[in-house]
Amino acid sequence: MTLPQHLVPDLASATVGGEIEIDGDEAHHAVVVRRLRVGERVQLCDGVGRVATGEVARTAKRSFAVTVTGIVDHPEPTPRITVVQALPKGERGELAVEVLTEIGVARIVPWAAARSVAVWKGERAVKSQAKWAATAREAAKQSRRAWHPVVEPLASTDLVAGLIAAAGPAVVLHEDATAPLAAVEVPAQGEALVVVGPEGGLTDPEIAAFSAAGAVPVRLGAEVLRTSTAGVAAVAALLARTGRWGG
């Protein structure tokens, strides 16, 4: 049985036989909601590769302590996958973040595309980005990831073009593209980037800007997927051709 995972800010000083104290909202959820008990085995993770396992030594309403029995440092999976996700409407943004996290992306960049129905501005942009980050954090814990994804602040089209220029292979999912995603060479190391457009589709200036930055417009197939599911389908197709998935 896979142990439940709890995120802690820092495991740098953790040692086998030592004790780690967890407090705040993470501890409250574990003790009050999950009903964590003394003697239960758990997994602690710092989100950047270090995972400690141990047994719960004691609990309180907003804290619990774990006696460490093992520590593993996991290398970051490569290639790293970044997904630029155009803002979907409603709760589909959280759905996209959840499944992208579960499948193993390293970075999620919310993008204000020209035809995005949702609009993030001012305080709403801050709150929405925080909600995406919280969704990614919970999905990473649920899927027992050693490396948790980073959710960046809202990006403009110009910023996305800069990310494309700095990445390795970069693709833009586009229903009118002629090149198939299967034709894209996936590197064993480094970073690959996938751009997912909004419900209304990409504009010609967006396609031109991303192509000029080095991205290749590609199609997944004859079907047109929703923006909240297109990214996970594309990432799965890429990862299936890497060592991360036994390729």
Given CA atoms 177, 182, 186, 191 in this order, what sign does their dihedral have?
A: positive
Asked whether the beta carbons of 152 and 107 are under 8 A apart, the reply is: yes
Q: What is the CATH number of the domain that holds 32?
A: 2.40.240.20
Q: Are 106 and 192 part of one and the same domain?
A: yes
What tens digit of pLDDT does each residue of 210-219 get? Answer: 999 999 999 9
Residue that is last in its domain, among 43, 73, 103: 73
What tens digit of pLDDT does each residue of 165-215 get? Answer: 998 899 999 988 999 998 888 888 899 999 999 988 999 999 999 999 999
Domain that holds residue 212: 80-245
Measured CA distances, 212 to 89, 114, 151, 206, 238 (Å): 28, 18, 25, 10, 22
Q: Are 123 and 95 part of one and the same domain?
A: yes
Q: Are 121 and 186 part of one and the same domain?
A: yes
Residue that is last in its domain, among 48, 73, 98: 73
Structural domains counted in the chain: 2
pTM (predicted TM-score): 0.92
What tens digit of pLDDT does each residue of 40-89 get? Answer: 999 999 999 999 999 999 999 889 999 999 999 999 999 999 999 999 98
Q: Are 170 and 104 part of one and the same domain?
A: yes
What tens digit of pLDDT does each residue of 114-160 get? Answer: 999 889 999 999 999 999 999 999 999 999 999 999 999 999 999 99
Strand partners, 194: 83, 171
Q: Are 147 and 126 part of one and the same domain?
A: yes
Q: Are 168 and 233 part of one and the same domain?
A: yes
**What is the C-alpha R_g of the chain?**
20
Give CA–CA dist 32/173, Å, rounded: 43
Q: Are 143 and 52 part of one and the same domain?
A: no
Q: Are 148 and 63 part of one and the same domain?
A: no
3-state secondary structure of 149: coil
Q: Are 58 and 92 part of one and the same domain?
A: no
Closest CA to 93 of 61, 73, 62, 119: 119
Q: Are 64 and 94 part of one and the same domain?
A: no
Closest CA to 85 of 100, 75, 71: 100
Q: Are 97 and 211 part of one and the same domain?
A: yes
